Structure 1
Amino acid sequence: MMSGSGVSFAGKAQKWEDEEKVRELVNAINKCKNLEFLDLEGNTLGVEAAVYIGKALEKHPELKKALWKDLFTGRLKTEIPAALKKMGGGMMTAGAQLTVLDCSDNALGPNGMVGLEDLIRSPVCYSLQELMLNNCGLGIGGGIMLAKALLDCHASSSKAGKPLALKVFIAGRNRLENDGGTALAKFFETVKTLEHVAMPQNGIYFPGITAISKGLAQNPNMKILNLNDNTIRYKGALALADAFESMPNLLEINFGDCLLKNDGTMVIAEAICDSHEKLEVVNLSANEMKSDLGLEVVKAVQNKANLKLLNLNSNEFGYDGKELIRSVMESGLNPDALDSLSDDESPDEDDEDEEDDGEECEEEEEDDDDATGEYNSNPEDEDNIIVEESDPNTIDLSSLQMNNNGPATIDTFFNTPHPSLELFNNLSDTNKLDAFRKHLDCYEGEDYLIGLVFTTMKFAALSKESNEALDLAKAFFDDCFKYAAEKSQTNRVKNFFLIQMGLLKSEDKKFVPHFNVESSRFAIEESLKIDSIPQEIKETFKTFLIVK
């Protein structure tokens, strides 16, 4: 139940279109002598109705909490910013001083941020302590706009003698990616007062995680950090471990489903082992860690007297590993804190037996990989790097469309399965070759090779329409085989390209090439003219191309 006095129409499923439809709400606002909060969650608001709400808010400088979750269901993207501007304008006229602004679960996108920018920059938000924009589809562009507005607010509020001191920042499920996360990291570094940051499910990889970590390191009062379902991996874990040194008051960390694997998990375990005694919740679920790393995590929390929950579910412990982890946990301070260890992702015992059947079996498996092009590697062994091809049926088409129509950045192109020519042409980098190579340099081993071959195919698929894309395809084709030679992966990479061009049959009968075949073949033919490509590679491709 909401504390203080105010008006709540939460969950009434009202459709406010015009003055008549919104009259009941406006009358309630006008009659409230001390409007500390206005809760409109679970209704749908049109522009005309928002005009009358804004006028009513002009009389309430005491308003502290604007609770506007799930307020624009079914509204056009042009309606949302206009409605927000009207209500924000009312608060600015009144001289309100918000402490809480919650616009979560609204399809704001970059357009919706236009409706919030002026409000966030205004004196209304100088006093803001909690900002919630969860599940708003901000995208990279919206994230950058939000960061700039917050930085402007901090600058102007500082000049006014009362710097913005935001404590809670919630922005999960917004497709911020690296560029959006990096932009917000600059605000984190500036504000220095954050205590609770939640940015799950944003498609952020370790370059963005690294920037965010550096920003958060300037916030010594951090208590809750949730980066669930982003891609932290080992390098991101190193950055977070460095940041932890400046966060002695951490109560909760949630890095579930972040591909930490064994090496990243070890970094996090070591970072919290001899410090952070206040921790109450540690979530490292679904990180593909083995049982020995699960034990390291358990050992790292043995001195946490306040621990309430240790979530290690959905890892790869196996039956014996889970029993050992439970046993060690039961001997510690908080035996009941360990979650159920459900949904173990260990390979089936039958599969493990097959892998141990001897050299002959291993050779057959390698032949299968070469024939299908569906590569599956052991990340612990870089000499066995193989390339995974995504199942086209699992591609999130809404995300794909967003990326192709979203801000044109190297990061967006890199993370879009089939980037468009328009996206490529709109990239602002003057030297795209250096920019893409620099981006790939952030990865290593398995991830580097996977990124390299798929980026090559993306350029190749655009090569008949763009000479610039063709030049990049040729340069990256050369890079691929130089790196493949270093890692003894030449045959596998060669077969991958042949299968993607429809020149080599896949053992998977359902497989179809995922890239433009005609354009890809053209790019490969042109790439074979490069002097540094080994002659045996040239001969192989020429043989297949001749008999196509």
Structure 2
Amino acid sequence: MASDDVAQLTESLARTQVGEGELSYKGRGLKLDDAESAREIVKDIQAFEGLRALRMEGNTVGVEAAQAIAKALEDKSDFQCCYWSDMFTGRLRSEIPPALTSLGAALIAAGARLKVLDLSDNAFGPDGVKGVEKLVKSAACHTLQELRLNNCGMGIGGGKILAAALKECHKKSSEAGAPLRLKVFIAGRNRLENDGATALAQAFQLMGSLEEVHMPQNGINHQGVTALAAAVSQNPQLRVLNLNDNTFTKRGAIAMAQALKHLRSVQVINFGDCLVRAEGAFAIAEALKDGLPILKELNLSFGEITEDAALAVAGAIEHKDQFEKLDLNGNCLGEEGCEKLKEVMQNMKMGDLLGSLSDDEGEQEEDEEEGDDDDDDDDEDEEEEEEEDDDDVDEEEENEEEEELSEVHKVSTPPPAPRPPDVSSFLCFPSPDKLLRLGNRRADLIQQQVDVSDVGKTVEAFLKISSVFKEDDPEVKAAVLDSVDALLNKTFSTPSAQTFNFISSLLVMLGLLKSEDKLKPVAVVPGHLQCLEHAVRQTYFPREHIGVLHAFMTRQCKTMDSCVSARDNLRSTLQKLQPES
């Protein structure tokens, strides 16, 4: 019997061992609920002398199973690499922190010296960050080189917790004579926003060792971008900077351009869909002229860049011998501008390095561009002042950011062309064109992206989608209504749906109900009311709220003055739908 066990164990190790020092269960689809279900993995770990890496991607691990695996890791002092992305599929959010805490405690007890910690695509939110906080602060992470937390729903609170842990790790490791020298940081799709990004920027500035930074799709505006710019300028070995789909505007872009002047090792810059605008692009072009000698890729797509600015960027890369790709697609060059850009690139013998210009949005008036940019920055300044005045905000509310329930998108390298569907970009700056570019799966993508358990964010998403409604454009109209139906159907069909809170929040955002939280209503447009009229006629809409909506719609309100016809139509529909008394 003993020999059979040995043979079985040998066979198991042969199946799972991948390279020197690594056990892999990647993609097995294992459902590990308890210690018994994890028995095979535990045996393999215990028998593996010199274990350095454990791959658990694509499985689902419960609390008890994690504790059993952790126990087996407690004497693995050679351990270095945790490849634990996509490891909690289908688990309750409350299960993940204790599972991570157990695993982290085991690595600390083992005296491990980690190089890689990959927890990407685990929707654990701020609480999940708390689950690894002790590990990140510990001596086990003094040697950490790669930290991958892509698509984890950390939110602002999680970003702050992580930043504080990294700073503590750097402090303790410096005191021990070997400062933390993190090389790769990946945290895309985490809704870090300005506060989370600024906190992390402080940690980056302390370390000064980063070679790759990937933080796409985080809702970061110029304040956060400026903080990151100051941080990256203190990381001279930086090779890859991916901030795709955040919102620079000219102020953030100029700050980042100034930072780039201090860097000599950068090879890849991805500022696509960041609204760098013309002035920002000119600043980046200036930084390119005398700096960034080994740059290979530059992505400034979908940034509302004009013809002159695009030509300046092209001219700035002329003498870069290692350059491989320039992406200026989706900007505002116009047909003639696109032809001029192609001609300039051809004349520099770099024509084959220019990406497609098929999504160019047409020539834009310069005064219109400048006005829009000023408006954006003014709005952001107002928001910043409001945040500074609000000293009573409860930090726990920030830490309760819900996880992003979205499709898995690995971000180990900058996104390649063609540009993928991007719900976050649409919700940040909605336009009919962006909605259509999401393709036929737009309704599903939006449904997955928006966390319907957060009433405020759901209402905001509904208003963003409906704002681009066009009655006279059948394609846009259909796309908007399909998206609205998908979002609201999921919202109202969720067992724990707070339908009354949704209606209350909607009335507040439409300016029909006063908010105790001093929320600023949106500028109501006809699309808001036209989509609401469509929604109330659908079977998913709660009938018990028809009367409430009708009562508020019959009131006189200045916010509705610009869309009287749409308001009257909605009022009439609500009147018809009210149950007979």
Q: Same fold (TM over 0.5)?
A: yes
TM-aligned CA deviation for residue 54 of structure 1: 0.4
Give the aligned partner of residue 421 of structure 2.
none
Give the aligned partner of residue 33 of structure 2.
17
Give the aligned partner of residue 72 of structure 1.
88
* 2-structure distance, mates of 1:94, 1:215: 34
Kindly provide the CA deviation profile for residues 504-539 of structure 1, in whole angstroms up to 9, marking residues without a partner as x.
xx599836699x9988999978x9xxxxxxxxx9xx
TM-aligned CA deviation for residue 460 of structure 1: 4.8
* 2-structure distance, mates of 1:308, 1:61: 43
Give the aligned partner of residue 188 of structure 1.
204
1:46 aligns with 2:62: yes
Q: Is the 8 A contact 1:305 1:334 kept in 2?
A: no
* 2-structure distance, mates of 1:157, 1:226: 28
Note closer, same or farther for the CA distance 1:317–1:126 as it changes in structure 2 (3 Å cut).
same
Give the aligned partner of residue 530 of structure 2.
510
Query: Equivalent residue of 2:57, what SS?
Result: coil
Query: Equivalent residue of 2:213, what SS?
Result: strand
User: Mean alpha-carbon deviation: is it higher for 315-324 or for 97-106?
Assistant: 315-324
1:324 aligns with 2:324: no
Query: Equivalent residue of 1:380, what SS?
Result: helix
* 2-structure distance, mates of 1:46, 1:284: 43
Q: Is the 8 A contact 1:400 1:416 kept in 2?
A: no
TM-aligned CA deviation for residue 2 of structure 1: 6.4
Q: 1:363-382 to 2 correspondence within 5 Å?
A: 378-381=368-371
Note closer, same or farther for the CA distance 1:385–1:311 as it changes in structure 2 (3 Å cut).
closer
Note closer, same or farther for the CA distance 1:416–1:265 as it changes in structure 2 (3 Å cut).
farther
TM-aligned CA deviation for residue 345 of structure 1: 2.3
Note closer, same or farther for the CA distance 1:523–1:231 as it changes in structure 2 (3 Å cut).
farther
User: Mean alpha-carbon deviation: is it higher for 18-27 or for 126-135?
Assistant: 18-27
Note closer, same or farther for the CA distance 1:523–1:37 as it changes in structure 2 (3 Å cut).
farther
Instruction: Find 1:148's aligned residue among 141, 146, 164.
Output: 164
Note closer, same or farther for the CA distance 1:137–1:509 as it changes in structure 2 (3 Å cut).
closer
TM-aligned CA deviation for residue 141 of structure 1: 0.9
Kindly provide the CA deviation profile for residues 264-287 of structure 1, in whole angstroms up to 9, marking residues without a partner as x.
211211221222111011111111
TM-aligned CA deviation for residue 53 of structure 1: 0.6
* 2-structure distance, mates of 1:27, 1:14: 16
* 2-structure distance, mates of 1:280, 1:204: 25
User: Mean alpha-carbon deviation: is it higher for 310-319 or for 168-177?
Assistant: 310-319
TM-aligned CA deviation for residue 260 of structure 1: 1.4
Give the aligned partner of residue 175 of structure 2.
159
Kindly provide the CA deviation profile for residues 260-317 of structure 1, in whole angstroms up to 9, marking residues without a partner as x.
1222211211221222111011111111223332211110111110011111222233
1:94 aligns with 2:84: no
TM-aligned CA deviation for residue 219 of structure 1: 1.1
Give the aligned partner of residue 230 of structure 1.
246
Instruction: Find 2:361's aligned residue among 315, 326, 345.
Output: 345
* 1-structure distance, mates of 2:372, 2:354: 33
Q: Is the 8 A contact 1:219 1:246 kept in 2?
A: no
Unaligned runs of 5+ in 2: 1-16, 380-428, 436-441, 465-507, 536-548, 562-581
TM-aligned CA deviation for residue 195 of structure 1: 1.1
* 1-structure distance, mates of 2:333, 2:306: 5
Q: 1:105-116 to 2 correspondence within 5 Å?
A: 105-116=121-132
Instruction: Find 1:61's aligned residue among 73, 77, 86.
Output: 77
Q: What TM-score, normalized by structure 2, do the two folds share?
A: 0.66
Give the aligned partner of residue 27 of structure 1.
43
TM-aligned CA deviation for residue 402 of structure 1: 7.1
TM-aligned CA deviation for residue 158 of structure 1: 1.4
- In structure 2, what residue type is equivalent to 1:318? G
Query: Equivalent residue of 2:352, what SS?
Result: coil
* 1-structure distance, mates of 2:63, 2:374: 58
- In structure 2, what residue type is equivalent to 1:142? G
Instruction: Find 2:155's aligned residue among 126, 139, 147.
Output: 139
TM-aligned CA deviation for residue 59 of structure 1: 1.7
Q: Is the 8 A contact 2:272 2:302 kept in 1?
A: yes
TM-aligned CA deviation for residue 343 of structure 1: 2.3
TM-aligned CA deviation for residue 332 of structure 1: 2.1
Give the aligned partner of residue 223 of structure 2.
207
Q: Is the 8 A contact 1:303 1:333 kept in 2?
A: no
Q: Is the 8 A contact 2:450 2:461 kept in 1?
A: no
* 2-structure distance, mates of 1:36, 1:383: 51
TM-aligned CA deviation for residue 28 of structure 1: 1.6
TM-aligned CA deviation for residue 9 of structure 1: 0.7
* 2-structure distance, mates of 1:215, 1:78: 34
* 2-structure distance, mates of 1:145, 1:384: 33
Q: Which has the higher contact order (CA 8 A, sep 6+)?
A: 2
- In structure 2, what residue type is equivalent to 1:34? G
Note closer, same or farther for the CA distance 1:523–1:2 as it changes in structure 2 (3 Å cut).
farther
* 2-structure distance, mates of 1:250, 1:389: 32
Kindly provide the CA deviation profile for residues 321-360 of structure 1, in whole angstroms up to 9, marking residues without a partner as x.
223222211222544222222322227xxxx9xx9xxxxx
Q: Is the 8 A contact 1:403 1:416 kept in 2?
A: no
Give the aligned partner of residue 120 of structure 2.
104
- In structure 2, what residue type is equivalent to 1:55? K
TM-aligned CA deviation for residue 185 of structure 1: 1.0
The count of corresponding residues between Structure 1 and Structure 2 is 431
Give the aligned partner of residue 246 of structure 1.
262
Q: Is the 8 A contact 2:233 2:260 kept in 1?
A: yes
Query: Equivalent residue of 1:59, what SS?
Result: coil
Q: Is the 8 A contact 2:271 2:300 kept in 1?
A: yes
CA RMSD of superposed structures (Å): 4.0
* 2-structure distance, mates of 1:69, 1:232: 30
Give the aligned partner of residue 8 of structure 2.
none
TM-aligned CA deviation for residue 211 of structure 1: 1.0
Q: Which runs of 4+ in 1 moved over 3 A?
A: 1-4, 380-406, 413-418, 457-462, 506-509, 511-514, 516-525
- In structure 2, what residue type is equivalent to 1:379? E
* 2-structure distance, mates of 1:85, 1:268: 43
Q: Is the 8 A contact 2:261 2:292 kept in 1?
A: no
- In structure 2, what residue type is equivalent to 1:163? P
1:301 aligns with 2:338: no
* 2-structure distance, mates of 1:510, 1:524: 17
Query: Equivalent residue of 1:225, what SS?
Result: strand
Q: Is the 8 A contact 2:512 2:557 kept in 1?
A: no
Note closer, same or farther for the CA distance 1:523–1:202 as it changes in structure 2 (3 Å cut).
farther
* 1-structure distance, mates of 2:50, 2:127: 33
Note closer, same or farther for the CA distance 1:205–1:389 as it changes in structure 2 (3 Å cut).
closer
1:117 aligns with 2:117: no
TM-aligned CA deviation for residue 125 of structure 1: 0.3
* 1-structure distance, mates of 2:556, 2:180: 53
* 2-structure distance, mates of 1:55, 1:508: 55
Q: What TM-score, normalized by structure 1, do the two folds share?
A: 0.69
Give the aligned partner of residue 544 of structure 2.
none
Unaligned runs of 5+ in 1: 356-376, 407-412, 419-456, 477-495, 501-505, 528-536, 538-548
Query: Equivalent residue of 1:336, what SS?
Result: helix
Q: Is the 8 A contact 1:126 1:163 kept in 2?
A: yes
Note closer, same or farther for the CA distance 1:44–1:272 as it changes in structure 2 (3 Å cut).
same
* 1-structure distance, mates of 2:550, 2:346: 58
* 2-structure distance, mates of 1:87, 1:383: 47
* 1-structure distance, mates of 2:22, 2:260: 39
Q: Is the 8 A contact 1:304 1:333 kept in 2?
A: no
TM-aligned CA deviation for residue 380 of structure 1: 3.3
Kindly provide the CA deviation profile for residues 188-235 of structure 1, in whole angstroms up to 9, marking residues without a partner as x.
111111111010000111111111111222111111100000001100
Kindly provide the CA deviation profile for residues 399-436 of structure 1, in whole angstroms up to 9, marking residues without a partner as x.
47576679xxxxxx999979xxxxxxxxxxxxxxxxxx
Query: Equivalent residue of 1:310, what SS?
Result: strand
* 2-structure distance, mates of 1:216, 1:333: 32
Give the aligned partner of residue 256 of structure 1.
272
Q: Percent identity?
A: 42
Note closer, same or farther for the CA distance 1:149–1:21 as it changes in structure 2 (3 Å cut).
same
Q: 1:489-500 to 2 correspondence within 5 Å?
A: none
* 2-structure distance, mates of 1:116, 1:21: 24
TM-aligned CA deviation for residue 383 of structure 1: 12
Instruction: Find 1:178's aligned residue among 182, 194, 203.
Output: 194
* 1-structure distance, mates of 2:175, 2:556: 56
